[in-house]
Amino acid sequence: PRTIYLKDYQAPDYWIDTTHLTFDLHEDYALVTSVLQMRLNGEKEFESGTLPALTLHGEELDLVSLHRDGEELEGDQYQLAKGTLIVSVKQPTFELQVVTRIRPQENTSLEGLYKSNGMFCTQCEAEGFRKITYYLDRPDVMSVFTTKVIASQARYPVLLANGNAIDKGELENDRHYVTWEDPFKKPSYLFALVAGDLECIEDRFTTMSGRDVTLKIFTESHNIHKCDHAMVSLKKSMRWDEEVYGREYDLDIFMIVAVDHFNMGAMENKGLNIFNSSCVLASPETATDATYQRIEAIVAHEYFHNWSGNRVTCRDWFQLSLKEGFTVFRDAEFSADMNSRGVKRIQDASLLRTAQFAEDAGPMAHPIRPESFIEISNFYTLTVYEKGCEVVRMIHTILGAGQFRKGTDLYFDRHDGEAATCEDFVKAMEDASGVDLTQFRHWYSQAGTPVMTVTDKYDAESGDYHLTIAQSCPATPGQEQKKPFHIPVGIALLDEQGQLLPLNAAGDKEQVLSIKQSEETFVVKGCKSKPLPSLLRNFSAPVRVRYDYSKDDLVFLMKHDTDSFNRWDACQRLGVAAIEQLVEQPQQAVDPQLVDAFGAVIADAAMDKAVKAEMLCLPSEASLAEQADVIQPLAIVAARKKVKQAIAVAHKDALQALYNELNHERVYKPEAADIAERTLKNVCLGYLSAVNEAECVQLAAKQYDDASNMTDRRAALGCVIDAHYRDEALVERLLTDFYDRYKGNSNVMDDWFAVQSSSAELGTVEKVKALMQHDSFDSTSPNKLRSLIGGFTRNMTHFHTAGGTGYEFLADRVIELDKQNPQVASRIMTPLTRWKKFEPVTSGLMKNALERIKAVHNLSTDVYEVVNKSL
């Protein structure tokens, strides 16, 4: 496999002004006719008098015929080489007609045109369009598309593609057609087609300039009652993008289609978003609060791409974070405005610190704008998306909201209808604000998580307080030395009463420092006693902070800090310290200071319930593993469990009282205040089920039986499964009951598999193997694979079980799956790539599993890249 480098980027030799596609869909094949108006790229220099050959991308295609300006081409005028069709050219502008035959029914990779539950659908990002027809399948080639879809009327009454429907009619043999025209130029990765027996809900939206837009959400008829939340979310997103970014929708119709077999969450195809059904469908009985919020966020994300991604797209795939990082930032701000801002920040920072920091410290570490790749699908990463979002957020913090908005306006105006780069985005920000972002650009080119080491000194005589911030960044593959970053660091100082001190002559009590040197000192005058610093407030930069907080300091911050992120972070630090202590010395007692501090949080009636629920969650096993120098999986599980049990036993009465207070019946609404109450109630239930008493597990069972919504039922099921007091008959009863209730609902069944495979109590490798044989398991469904196999890889107890059987099992699945769906195979093996961080015996077993994968012939580029970079 070939490595592709950013530095080698070259503009294309030809443009495609218009693309006319005709899809003739049949049960065992599809015929695709593509008519392209081609034009030489006049801005490039070619040897005088010659026209370069046209090299089109194409994979897994049967070429049926090829015409240039109406003339059928013979074998000496074109060449089929691996992955390309090379055509000789006679004129600078010409028409090319290509007819290909493809087999969507046999397409298990879910890239290109494929079938899911009997319907045809497409996934073209990043390089799937080349599995449909020969094309310049690169994002800088933008074309105006017209698409005619022909299929059986009885089997596929609904025929959709991008843009507006301009023609439809009936044909012989019960066939019909619809023609769609998308007036906006777009790259091939935004192409979409759907043909199926679908129903839709319909609504309307009036844009800020008064245009009327039709909104439709399509799904199989049995799910039609589960689309309302997605529709409400869509309308909220459309209004928000007008109000916050001044961006208006541009077509007459916006459609969403839910499909069951999908490699990722959703796809922003122009005017025709295709969604994993798990990211659209919700009803109170079948979806949890978390699912409701996820749907709202993903609907918004894909809708926001209409500007950040579609109207302004990416020049090449190295610029992926240009659209993804920016759009994640947009959807995060939207969710913060719709729900609890503080909690959204905690959740996002927590994901970043747990999973993205791990990626940045692993063998696949890359900058948000990678410099090379073998397989672009491997670079749809937490780094490109979530760290990319943090980089945009830092620009927002440095510029301020007003200047940032001027920057985005300029960016959209300047590059509308173009394929842009990350550099274009930063330049627009600079030009609009006058702020120099020269040094800030290192965030785009350097990988790794910077470490900020903070020390301080107080001079009682002068009242001067010195805060020194030093930064460094660990080496990452291919990048030994790093230049200092421009880091915005939010700070405040707390006095002995917990009040915020003025930081400067203007009396500001909070400030964002712009740290640019390897070491900088910041002085605050007039402090009557040594203040306590609150650092990196609101998680103002994606860095690790090292400051020697005592436990008393952390307890103080938990109580007094006005920044909810830092209150939560203090709680996490205290939890990490207590658990790490037990990892090293398992016989020791649980830190009583931690137990008391958690008791104070439980008792704090004034605290925001949503934040309180977050604060009461101990650091996850994954986050503890990320922070460990050497991961000892079973010791982490045992230590965390011991701490949870100690808190639960010490505060059982208070937890029970809080649970009772919150446990009242009401009509289900996925609104912030209600979600906060349910979350906190279920956190209490989680602690209570860590108490080794029958009445505690009975309480969870009662909640399960009485539940009127999925949030409460699912939480209770998890509590019973992992309860300290073991009642295996009850576990069995509830798992069977859950199955019987929801077996007709594929998305809920995903969770039924995940709750078992990820359980420390149930999820043995034997159990997972048995579940793979279950009637409801479908090995062609990425959702099922992610639930069952992915759930198992997150199961620290059994995945890392002695002897390495968990690793062997995963290696077998990766090898098997690679032939069927390389994208899912390569993602699912991620946990093995972290082998170097584990204690030696475990590490060796993980490495063996990777070596076994590496030895397989004909690996996909996806798995090849990950396995080779990991070893």
**Binding of ligand HT7 by 632 (CB under 6 A):** no
CA contacts within 13 A on the Cβ side of 582? 26
Which range in 6-14, 260-268, 333-341, 474-482 contacts ligand HT7 by CB under 6 A?
260-268
Q: Which helix (H) or strand (E) holds 679?
A: helix 672-688
The answer to whether residue 865 forms part of the interface with ligand HT7 (CB under 6 A) is no
Residues 8-27 binding Zn ion (CB under 5 A) are none
- Which one, 200 or 336, has the nearer CB to Zn ion? 336
Using CB under 6 A, which residues numbered 284 to 303 contact ligand HT7?
301-302
Contact 82, 60 (CB under 8 A): no
The kind and range of the H/E element at 203 are strand 199-206
User: Which of 264, 395, 555, 594 is the binder for ligand HT7 (CB under 6 A)?
Assistant: 264
Look at residues 34, 239, 39 and name the one whose alpha carbon lies nearest to residue 147: 34
User: If DSSP codes are grouped into helix, strand and coil, which group holds residue 347?
Assistant: helix
Three-state helix/strand/coil letters over 402-434: HHHHHHHHHHHHHHCCCEECHHHHHHHHHHHHC
- Taking the complex as a whole, the smallest distance from the CB of residue 584 to Zn ion amounts, in Å, to 42
Whichever of 642 and 827 has its CB closer to ligand HT7, that residue is 827
Nearer to Zn ion, 324 or 580 (CB): 324
Q: Minimal CB distance to ligand HT7: which residue?
A: 264
300 within 8 A of 328, measured Cβ to Cβ: no
The per-residue b/e assignment along 772-797, b for 16 or more CB within 10 angstroms, e otherwise, is beeeebbeebbbbbbbbbbbbbebbb
| 380 versus 404: smaller Cβ distance to ligand HT7 | 380
Smallest gap from residue 532 Cβ to Zn ion (A): 40
Helix ranges (H only) for 707-786 are 710-722, 728-742, 746-757, 765-772, 782-785
Interacting stretch for ligand HT7, rule CB under 6 A, among 1-9, 51-59, 211-219, 265-273?
A: 265-273
Q: State yes or no: cis peptide before 126, omega within 30 of 0.
A: yes
Stretch that binds ligand HT7, among 120-128, 202-210, 462-470, 797-805 (CB under 6 A): 120-128
Which of 455, 384, 128, 154 is closest to 274 using CA atoms?
Answer: 128
What sign results for the dihedral spanned by CA atoms 690, 696, 698, 700?
negative
380 binds ligand HT7 (CB under 6 A): yes
* Residues 520, 384, 621, 347, CA torsion sign: positive
Closest distance of CB 304 from ligand HT7, Å: 9
> What are the residues facing 781 on neighbouring strands?
none
Catalytic residue among 296, 302, 390, 865: 302
Asked if 383 interacts with ligand HT7 (CB under 6 A), we say: no
Which of Zn ion, ligand HT7, none does 230 bind, CB closer than 5 to 8 A by kind?
none
**Between residue 305 and residue 364, which ones bind ligand HT7 under the rule CB under 6 A?**
305, 324
State the minimum distance, in angstroms, from the CB of residue 780 to ligand HT7. Answer: 16
The residue among 518, 510, 515 whose CA lies nearest residue 562 is 510
293 vs 759, beta carbon nearer ligand HT7: 293
The item of Zn ion, ligand HT7, none sharing an interface with residue 360, based on CB under 5 to 8 Å by kind, is none
For residue 376 the two structure tokens come to 């672009």
User: Applying CB under 6 A, does 712 fall inside the site for ligand HT7?
Assistant: no
Give bridge partners of residue 524 from the DSSP assignment. Answer: 465
Return the percent helix, strand and coil in the chain, to nearest 5.
45, 20, 35
- Write the binding mask 812 to 831 for ligand HT7: x where contact by CB under 6 A, - elsewhere: -----------x--------
**Residue closer to ligand HT7, measured from CB, 302 or 430:** 302
Q: Which stretch binds Zn ion (CB under 5 A): 20-28, 204-212, 316-324, 442-450?
A: 316-324
304 contacts ligand HT7 (rule: CB under 6 A): no
CB 804 within 8 A of CB 848: yes
Distance of CA 11 to CAs 14, 47, 792, Å?
A: 9, 16, 45
Q: How far is the CB of 125 from ligand HT7 (least distance, A)?
A: 5
Per CB under 6 A, 569 contacts ligand HT7: no
With contacts defined by CB under 5 A, name the span among 135-143, 327-335, 788-796, 809-817 that binds Zn ion: 327-335
CB of 320 to ligand HT7, least distance (A): 8
Min. distance of Cβ 380 from ligand HT7 in angstroms? 5
With a CB cutoff of 8 Å and minimum separation 6, the contacts of 618 are: 575, 579, 640, 643, 644, 647
Q: Please report which residue ranges of 448-543 form alpha helices under DSSP H.
A: none
The entry of ligand HT7, Zn ion, none near residue 647 (CB within 5 to 8 angstroms by kind) is none
Pick from 234, 267, 683, 762 the residue near ligand HT7 by CB under 6 A: 267
Give catalytic status of residue 302 as yes or no.
yes
Sign (positive or negative) of CA dihedral 10, 16, 19, 23: negative
Q: How many CB atoms lie within 10 A of CB 98?
A: 25
Residues contacting Zn ion: total by CB under 5 A = 2
How many chain residues are in contact with ligand HT7, going by CB under 6 A? 15
Complex with ligand HT7: residue 128 or 542, whichever CB lies closer: 128
The residue (of 96 and 121) whose beta carbon lies closer to ligand HT7 is: 121
Contacts made by residues 643-647, CB under 8 angstroms, sequence distance 24+: 643/575, 643/578, 643/579, 643/582, 643/590, 643/594, 643/618, 644/618, 644/687, 644/690, 645/690, 645/691, 645/692, 645/724, 646/590, 646/595, 647/590, 647/594, 647/595, 647/598, 647/599, 647/618, 647/687, 647/690
Q: Whole-number minimum distance, CB 550 to Zn ion, in Å?
A: 42
To Zn ion, the closest distance from the beta carbon of 351 in angstroms equals: 16
Q: Which stretch binds Zn ion (CB under 5 A): 1-9, 324-332, 356-364, 522-530?
A: 324-332
Residue 749 contacts which entry, Zn ion, ligand HT7, none (Cβ below 5-8 A, type-dependent): none
The token pair at 170 is 């009936």
Nearest approach in angstroms of CB 111 to Zn ion is 17
Give the residue, chosen from 34, 123, 378, 540, that forms a contact with ligand HT7 under the rule CB under 6 A.
123
Q: Which residues contact 243 (CB under 8 A, 6 or more apart)?
A: none
The residue within the footprint of ligand HT7, chosen from 59, 125, 591, 722 (CB under 6 A), is 125
Helix (H, G, I), strand (E, B) or coil at 276: strand
State the minimum distance, in angstroms, from the CB of residue 421 to ligand HT7: 17
- Rounded distance, CA 742 to CA 735, Å? 11
Residue 425's binding partner out of ligand HT7, Zn ion, none, with CB under 5 to 8 Å set by partner kind: none
- What residue 267 binds from ligand HT7, Zn ion, none (CB within 5 to 8 A, per partner kind)? ligand HT7
Judged by CB under 6 A, the residue of 263, 354, 378, 703 near ligand HT7 is 263
Among 59, 268, 360, 626, binds ligand HT7 (CB under 6 A): 268
Report the alpha-carbon distance of residue 279 to residue 300 in Å, rounded: 11
Nearest to 364 by CA among 814, 829, 840: 829
Query: Which span (323-331, 412-420, 702-710, 721-729) binds Zn ion, by CB under 5 A?
Result: 323-331
| 751: partner contacted, choices ligand HT7, Zn ion, none (Cβ within 5-8 A by kind) | none
Report the distance separating Cα 137 and Cα 130, nearest Å.
6
CB of 302 or CB of 333, closer to ligand HT7: 302
The count of other CB atoms within 10 Å of the CB of residue 705 is 12
Shortest CB 379 distance to Zn ion, Å = 13
Q: CA torsion, points 407, 408, 410, 411, in degrees to nearest 10?
A: 120
Crossing angle of helices 840-854 and 861-870, in 10° steps, is 150
Q: Which is nearer to Zn ion, 329 or 792 (CB)?
A: 329
Which candidate, 853, 815, 850, places its Cα nearest to that of 835?
850
- Report residue 616 as tokens: 């009461």
Name the residue among 353, 357, 299 with its Cα closest to residue 327: 299
Binding region for Zn ion (CB under 5 A) out of 321-329, 475-483, 556-564, 785-793:
321-329
Residues designated as active site: 302
User: Which residues would be at the binding site for ligand HT7 (CB under 6 A)?
Assistant: 123, 125-126, 263-264, 266-268, 301-302, 305, 324, 377, 380, 823
* Residues at the contact surface with Zn ion, assessed by CB under 5 A: 324, 327
